[in-house]
Chain A
Amino acid sequence: NAGVTQTPKFRVLKTGQSMTLLCAQDMNHEYMYWYRQDPGMGLRLIHYSVGEGTTAKGEVPDGYNVSRLKKQNFLLGLESAAPSQTSVYFCASSYLGGPYGYTFGSGTRLTVV
């Protein structure tokens, strides 16, 4: 009964490097989300997906790309990391959107130096 699994849990990148964060859910949820959490700024939505093969921009999409090739996986990519992308990243999934609530992963702590 894994729920939402994020990998990796921690990562340090140098400025300009690229990486991909993986989110996997085993609940057959349609909707998936990527958030970043920064001190004093709460949770900010980066990108989301309402189903396999779909993606859409959230509040703070610049510098990130996403893909949802399989229903259970939602990937977040940083093509050229910047120090401003130092944050804790959370993936979440939902059966069919907001009214159903979210299940969150445990987070990825990313530091860009």
Chain B
Amino acid sequence: AQSVTQLGSHVSVSEGALVLLRCNYSSSVPPYLFWYVQYPNQGLQLLLKYTTGATLVKGINGFEAEFKKSETSFHLTKPSAHMSDAAEYFCAVSTLNDYKLSFGAGTTVTVRA
């Protein structure tokens, strides 16, 4: 079965600083990888996804993630944090023919003024 591990349950960054959220996956077959964002008191929204092809994936709100097979990683980055980026972020993995996504435990991002 596939799984993801998100390193760090809380990340605090200054406004304008780099945001880096780490996600490592475990899968014996090619993975499909996702990042979701949850703003306070809301549902989860898709930020970006990797299926096949280009390993650098661009998403909404200036976020991007790079699939690195050799490192089994799919880290999420944003060059310059905004106050509006304060939220919880979830990494998720699936594989072909899997009925569901497997989610990480989530990383809460706070942005300091």
The interface of chain A, by Cβ under 8 A from chain B, is 4, 31, 33, 40-43, 45, 48, 50, 90, 92, 97-99, 101-107
Taking a contact as CB atoms closer than 8 A, the residue among B41, B45, B49 that contacts A104 in the complex is: B45
Cross-chain contact A101 with B100 (CB below 8 angstroms) = no
> CB distance A106 to B103 under 8 Å?
no
The answer to whether B43 and A97 have CB atoms under 8 Å apart is: no
CB-contacts of B30-78 with A (<8 A): 32, 34, 36, 41-46, 49, 51
The reply to whether A98 and B42 form a contact with Cβ atoms under 8 Å apart is no
Chain B residues within 8 Å of A, Cβ to Cβ: 32, 34, 36, 41-46, 49, 51, 90, 94-106
Q: Which residues of B contact A104 (CB under 8 A)?
A: 36, 43-45
Chain A residues whose C-beta falls within 8 Å of the C-beta of B100 in the assembled complex? 33, 45, 48, 97-98
Contact call B98/A99, Cβ cutoff below 8 A:
yes
Residues of A within 8 A of B42 (CB): 106-107
- Known pairs A42-B103, A43-B90, A43-B103; A101 contacts B98 (CB<8 A): no
Chain B residues contacting A107 (CB-CB under 8 Å) are 41-43
